[in-house]
Structure 1
Amino acid sequence: MVNTLDASFVTEGCWKPGLFEGKVVIVTGGAGTICRVQTEAMVLLGCQAAIVGRNEESTVAAAEEISRLGSDGCVLPLYNIDVRDFKQMEEAVARTLARFGRIDFVIAGAAGNFICDFAHMSPNAFKTVVDIDLLGSFNTVKACFPQLVKNKGSILFVSATLHYYGVPFQSHVGAAKAGIDALSNALAVELGPLGIRSNCIAPGPIGGTEGFRRLVQKDLRDKAIESVPLQRLGTTRDIAESTVFLFSPASAFVTGTISVVDGGAWHVGTHFSHNMYPKQLVERMRSKL
């Protein structure tokens, strides 16, 4: 996978070159489509980054490619790390500190998702998504907490809009993301006196992502675009721009917020009717009754 962003993000963009010079971000899910581009943006603006993933090949490849946007060795791949395991996250933090000496920003973006109707979803399947998304986010921030206190750092959770209304076959994800929002809000209030900010970013329909590919069938994607007030799909760059804003000094007084990046889509209600999903899922659910 080639980088989505390039030097024009700085030379032709909104942000001051070197905005994050001397800063370090740790990113879980950093080899995925959304979190990878978030990392690209941070690196282009001078940040050093550690990306955490389970798969060695994809994590190392992403780190090598993103490194080309910054200085040599500016991206550290941390693979074979399961965010559900707190000790593994502590190890990831220790390796980041050994390499870069500090952590200023945290992006908790590791996530799991699949389409499944409630009738066929096992307790283990539900638990897996909640553990990756919610427990994994907790473990990530908990492991980074001493550095966040030391550097008056900032946390960014990657949430969603699936729990703002009923979305069929996504009850597991909606429950996990609702928990993430609650966690972020609580940390914003509790950790504010320590100078730590906590916010969420909630992507809506973002083109070119694995989530959009899974959730929306090809023949219904044009209809999905029509339902967005801004009449287009979001891009990973849209997420990157909002990420930079929330970590930048421009957001120094912004904490406990959920930045929804969806072109206004959630305000017009759900368009994720059963027709937006494979019809066989509805039939399978009925057959279970």
Structure 2
Amino acid sequence: MRPDLVGVVTGAGSGLGRATAELLLEHGARVAGWDISGDGLNWLSDRESTVTSVVDVTDPAQVAAAADEVRSALGRVDFLVNSAGVFLLGSLADIEPAAVRRLFDINVTGTTLVTQALLPDLIAAMGAVVNLSSTVALRASASNAHYAASKAAVAQLTRCWALELAPHGVRVNAVAPGPTNTPLFATAGMDPAVTEAFLAQRAATIPLRRTGEPAEVARWITRFIDDEWVTGHVLPVDGGTSIA
């Protein structure tokens, strides 16, 4: 990876966002870490070549202010990783409308607002956007339909934005992780025992018979940032789940 890249990682306080930001810093990139949790960003506080912002990605004013801070602190934006997201588990009979609205506000609208705010910079840099979809966007699931629908929306936004932005030289791709050991389930309010049982059940259906680790997904996110000849691709990183 080019060592002089500059960009934004949302959801950088934990999980896939943190793993991606860590890997980018190892490669010499300068990173702006955004997260709704200020405490989650503490790990970046003593790192060189970073700037952090507490951002609710569903709030246009917060997103715009954070984008201005990145421009001021880092000078430009070569890449954007839209990792901020939430999980929702529940059946059609039990799901609450407010939970569905929040899910789409963060996973879909938030991804849109952040990309819009940084779009002029990404066009100027002929840069890269990497979105976080999910393997359930590619393969039906009976237990988390609304989460799957939100991530399917992200996958289709990825393809459409890739076509829209290709004339500007901006590449847009997505990684679609399978079940991965991150705090995503805890932040969704799932009890640790329920989470453990959920991941164990999922692992039994994965061809490679295990769940993933954040670093395994982060590697592919960084490859999309660096590669200049791939756009509009939604890549499963899921131990074979999407083909099972």
**TM-score normalised by L of structure 2:** 0.91
Alignment partner of 1:158 out of 107, 132, 146:
132
Alignment partner of 1:237 out of 203, 215, 222:
215
Alignment partner of 2:205 out of 227, 231, 238:
227
8 A Cα contact 2:13 2:37, kept in partner: no
Alignment partner of 2:224 out of 241, 246, 256:
246
Q: What's the offset of the Cα at 1:122?
A: 2.5
Alignment partner of 2:43 out of 57, 62, 86:
62
Match status 1:188 vs 2:162: yes
Q: Aligned to 1:157, what secondary structure does the other structure show?
A: strand
Structural mapping, 1:122-271, within 5 Å: 122-206=96-180, 208-211=181-184, 214=190, 217-219=195-197, 221-222=199-200, 224-248=202-226, 251-268=227-244
Please identify the structure whose Cα radius of gyration is greater.
1
Equivalence for 1:76 = 51
Percent identity over paired residues? 26
Equivalence for 1:11 = none
Q: What's the offset of the Cα at 1:237?
A: 1.4
**1: CA distance, partners of 2:139 / 2:223:** 27
Q: What's the offset of the Cα at 1:209?
A: 1.2
Alignment partner of 2:13 out of 31, 54, 59:
31
The aligned length equals 239
**2: CA distance, partners of 1:41 / 1:196:** 22
**2: CA distance, partners of 1:104 / 1:164:** 28
CA deviation profile, 1:197-232 (whole Å, cap 9, x unmatched): 0000011022x3124675965356555334322233
CA deviation profile, 1:95-124 (whole Å, cap 9, x unmatched): 011111011000011111232322232222
8 A Cα contact 1:37 1:240, kept in partner: yes
Corresponding letter in the other structure for 1:64: S
Equivalence for 1:277 = none
Q: Aligned to 1:134, what secondary structure does the other structure show?
A: helix
**1: CA distance, partners of 2:77 / 2:18:** 18
Equivalence for 1:271 = none
Q: Note the residue ranges of structure 1 that are not aligned, 5 or more in a row.
A: 1-18, 269-289
The root-mean-square deviation of aligned C-alpha atoms, in Å, is 1.9
Corresponding letter in the other structure for 1:31: G
**2: CA distance, partners of 1:115 / 1:222:** 15
Match status 1:52 vs 2:25: no
**TM-score normalised by L of structure 1:** 0.77
Structure with the larger RCO, 1 or 2 (CA within 8 Å, 6+ apart):
2
User: Cα gap change, 1:221/1:173 in structure 2, threshold over 3 Å: closer, same or farther?
Assistant: closer
User: Cα gap change, 1:227/1:212 in structure 2, threshold over 3 Å: closer, same or farther?
Assistant: farther
Q: What's the offset of the Cα at 1:28?
A: 1.0
Q: Note the residue ranges of structure 2 that are not aligned, 5 or more in a row.
A: none
Corresponding letter in the other structure for 1:239: V
Q: What's the offset of the Cα at 1:132?
A: 0.3
